[in-house]
Amino acid sequence: MFSLILPTYNEAKNIPALVEKIRGSLKGVPHEIIIVDDDSPDETWRVAQELAHDRDDLHVIRRIGRRGLSSAVIEGFLAAKGDVLGVMDADGQHDCGLLPKLHKAAAAEGGIAIGSRYTEGGSVGEWDERRHLMSRIATRLAVSLCRVKASDPMSGFFAIDRQTFEKALPNLNPKGFKILLDLLVHVPKGTKVQEIPFTFGKRMHGESKLSRRVQIEFLEYIYDVSLGRYVPLMFVKYCIVGSLGVVVHVSAFTFFEYLLTRGGGATFQQFSLSVAGAIETAIVFNFLLNNAWTFSHIKLKGKQAFVGFLKFNGACLFGALANYAVSAFLFSFGFPELFAVVVGAFTGVIWNYTMNRLLTWRG
């Protein structure tokens, strides 16, 4: 059986016509269609459920509180019954007529069959030069990471043998937009790949999902599977936030001191109040940005965010003490001031990251 996954978000207008096209293309091929919808505001899931009523070959998974193309495809693959698993976009840009070839190639070769825009005979269609250039650059970056090479590792149109998928499954990263790239990075060496050319078509209805956020997630993924094995991406993001927090700290100190002194000389009490206000301002900034970006996959909300903020304050307090203790210890033993301060600061960062990872953002 061929199990075809359609990951969807706001594709209500496209689904009815697309499902009928798929059925026509796979006539004579035992198949099932699984629509995995990320709780679309346009109620794509409801349209899909109405189509699936009294039809055994169409199934719908409505995901609540979960978002992302790669994770949706993985969830669909895990729910599928077929020995060959396929995926295509739900916007009509992929050629349904290619589905039997992809199924046959993946079933015969026992590997991956890709609908390719960049193999001989393929095309990106009517893309403008800017998007085409961005795609070529991203593709070159992606190819360099792949354990098994393909000319179009960013394609969202492919089929894979179930056994090949299951071998790669334990190492897959569900974050991101390009599940094929992740598979090509993690499948066993020697996995057979066959590319079948196709021309990328026009979207039927709706807007492209290629947002700035998707582009950032792609770059994060590139880091994750290359340098991320040595220095975790979350730690790098935490350090970036901390660096920005220093700028916020200095700016807040300047503001509070001016507010208290009106440009005159500061007393010790005014200086102390300005420092305290700057510290807490930086802590609030760091918590909000870390929650929204560094730990976005386990973002705290509501009551959990309030409790997390208190834990973050506590961790940062002990981090400051660790910073001071290490710096003072090194200085007392004759190490240069700058060296002592840098090592102390780095100790504080590691302490804060570790404790917040364990206490504030667990998971």
Predicted confidence at residue 31, as pLDDT, reads 94
Q: Is residue 219 part of a domain?
A: no
Q: Is residue 222 part of a domain?
A: no
Same domain? For 199 and 312 the reply is no
Predicted confidence at residue 45, as pLDDT, reads 92
Highest mean pLDDT: which range of 101-105, 235-239, 246-250: 101-105
Q: Is residue 161 part of a domain?
A: yes
Predicted confidence at residue 37, as pLDDT, reads 94
Q: Is residue 224 part of a domain?
A: no
Q: What is the pLDDT of the chain when averaged over all its residues?
A: 85
Q: Write the pLDDT tens digit of every residue in 17-47.
A: 999 999 999 998 999 999 999 999 999 999 9
Query: How many whole angstroms separate alpha carbon 71 and alpha carbon 94?
Result: 20
CATH number reported for the structural domain that contains residue 142 in this entry: 3.90.550.10
Q: Write the pLDDT tens digit of every residue in 154-191.
A: 888 999 999 999 999 998 877 766 889 899 988 988 89
Dig out the tokens for 234 from the structure: 């979350």
Same domain? For 191 and 302 the reply is no
Q: What is the bridge-based pairing of β-strands 193-197 and 84-87?
A: unpaired
- Report phi then psi at 123, rounded to 5: -160, 150
Name the band, by pLDDT with cuts 50, 70 and 90, for residue 287: very high
Predicted confidence at residue 214, as pLDDT, reads 66
Same domain? For 118 and 252 the reply is no
Q: Is residue 32 part of a domain?
A: yes
Q: Write the pLDDT tens digit of every residue in 70-128.
A: 889 999 999 999 999 999 988 888 889 999 999 999 998 789 999 988 888 887 766 66
Q: Is the pLDDT of residue 216 over 80?
A: no
Cα→Cα distances 147→84, 108, 136, 137, 171, Å: 21, 21, 19, 19, 13
**Which residues does residue 114 pair with via DSSP β-bridges, in sequence order?**
158, 195
Task: Classify residue 292 by its DSSP letter.
Answer: I
Residue-number span of the structural domain to which 154 is assigned: 2-207
In the chain, what percentage of residues exceed pLDDT 70?
A: 92
Cβ neighbours for 287, distance < 8 A, ≥ 6 positions apart: 308, 309, 312
Predicted confidence at residue 126, as pLDDT, reads 63
Query: How many whole angstroms separate alpha carbon 278 and alpha carbon 259?
Result: 12
3-state secondary structure of 358: helix
Same domain? For 180 and 277 the reply is no
Q: With residue 112 as reference, give the H or E element that holds it.
A: strand 112-116
Do residues 214 and 190 touch, judged by C-beta distance below 8 A?
no
Better-predicted residue by pLDDT, 211 or 192: 192
Q: Is residue 218 part of a domain?
A: no
Sheet holding 112-116, edge to edge: 58-62, 31-37, 2-8, 84-87, 158-161, 112-116, 193-197
**Angle (nearest 5°) at CA 6 between 202 and 14:** 45
Q: Is the pLDDT of residue 64 over 70?
A: yes
Do residues 191 and 176 touch, judged by C-beta distance below 8 A?
no
Among the residue ranges 42-46, 191-195, 341-345, the one predicted with the least confidence is 341-345
Per the document, the length of the chain is 363
Name the band, by pLDDT with cuts 50, 70 and 90, for residue 54: confident
Give me the mean pLDDT over the 329-340 stretch: 80
